[in-house]
Amino acid sequence: MERTENVVRACVVGDPVSHSRSPLIHGHWLQRLGIAGAYDRRQVKADEVDAFLDEVRAGKLRGGNVTVPHKEEAARRVDVLTDTARHLGAVNTVWEVDGKVWGDNTDVTGFLANLDERSPGWDREREKAIVLGAGGAARAIIYGLLTRGFREIGIANRSVSRARKLAEELQPQGEQQLVPIAWDARSDALKNANVLVNTTSLGMTGQPPLELSLEALPVQAVVHDIVYAPLETDLLRAARQRGNPAVDGLGMLLHQAAPGFSRWFGQEPQVTDELRLLIIDDMNRTAA
């Protein structure tokens, strides 16, 4: 695309960043909506995050996405945090308003919008959810489950101390509770659960398998794997085989991109089957 002064520009920054599919997603929307915009990727070291934010502050860039490992640093460096980003201490989307850089965390809306679209009514029963993992993605997902009113959220993690720490940091007031679970107890903990979410990297291409027995899980429980490479993980296959509704993680990636696009380029993009197929095709070509 030819660069002119009128082209609105945004980018994703991270280290590494070559794997990011954000340019493909935003490029598709720019083309479909006929917007004179550009969205690039930039490899940025920790000590370059400030310079990136300065560009946004100065209006040289309309904004951008921040990915691993800079999400926490970005949360410390932006001028204003949304409530969600403040609670999570991590920012993945930035934009400028009146000379100030705002930071949001759209993994939460991406997670919720994907389940709302793919399994409508998934949060009708919200007595108990089980989350496998206690990393960055788990933090956003547990926060999302809390906002939807889940009463008990069990967090099963290999290092239970990390689950405990996350539970302490996000612990809500009132009737809702976060319960750390030892990794060895994860299969038994599925009893009476309404929702199960895998947020570990287990089951992802190149990673060890997720070993989990679904025997105790009610057959109505919604099973969601945020791993999207492969799209149909062993967990999702096992869930479908026994009759559980099962939702893959690609929609979370697509939906988390939408709020940033609206802020930078001024139009609301759609998560369509065409976009989904474009990303699946790219995953097949790059075997990721």
Ligand X SMILES: NC(=O)c1ccc[n+]([C@@H]2O[C@H](COP(=O)([O-])OP(=O)(O)OC[C@H]3O[C@@H](n4cnc5c(N)ncnc54)[C@H](OP(=O)(O)O)[C@@H]3O)[C@@H](O)[C@H]2O)c1
Cα distance between residue 189 and residue 22, in whole Å? 36
Nearer to ligand X, 25 or 101 (CB): 25
DSSP letter at 6? T
Query: Which of 61, 253, 258, 279 touches ligand X (CB under 6 A)?
Result: 253
List the interface residues with ligand X, window 54-113 (CB under 6 A). Answer: 107, 110
Rank residues 99 and 206 by Cβ distance to ligand X and give the closer one.
Answer: 206
Sign, CA dihedral 91-97-99-100, equals negative
Pick from 260, 253, 243: nearest CA to 275: 253
60 is an active site residue: no
> Which one, 194 or 200, has the nearer CB to ligand X?
200
Nearer to ligand X, 56 or 202 (CB): 202
Beta-bridged to residue 223, according to DSSP, are 196, 246
Q: Interface with ligand X includes 165 (CB under 6 A)?
A: no
Least distance between ligand X and beta carbon 218 (Å): 24
Min separation Cβ 71 and ligand X, Å: 9
For the chain, the 3-state helix, strand and coil shares in percent, each to the nearest 5, are 40, 20, 40
Query: How long, in residues, is the chain?
Result: 288
Out of 9, 42, 151, 158, point to the residue binding ligand X (CB under 6 A): 158
Angle between helices 136-147 and 107-118 (to 10 degrees): 60
Instruction: Name the nearest CA neighbour of 29 among 253, 270, 259, 264.
Output: 270
22 is a site residue for ligand X (CB under 6 A): no
Euclidean distance between CA atoms 40 and 23, whole angstroms: 6
| 227 touches ligand X (CB under 6 A) | yes
Terminal CA-CA length for the chain: 27
Nearest to 158 by CA among 132, 138, 176: 132
Nearer to ligand X, 38 or 235 (CB): 235
From 45, 71, 128, 191, active-site residue: 71
According to CB under 6 A, which one of 63, 136, 245, 269 is a site residue for ligand X?
Answer: 136
Q: Is 123 annotated as a binding residue?
A: no
Instruction: Tell me phi and psi for residue 19, to 5 degrees.
Output: -80, -10
Q: Of residues 201, 238, 267, 278, which one binds ligand X by CB under 6 A?
A: 201
Binding site for ligand X (CB under 6 A): 107, 110, 133-138, 157-159, 162, 199-202, 204, 208, 226-228, 249, 252-253, 256
- Active site (catalytic) residues: 71
Return binding residues for NADP(+).
83, 133-137, 226, 249
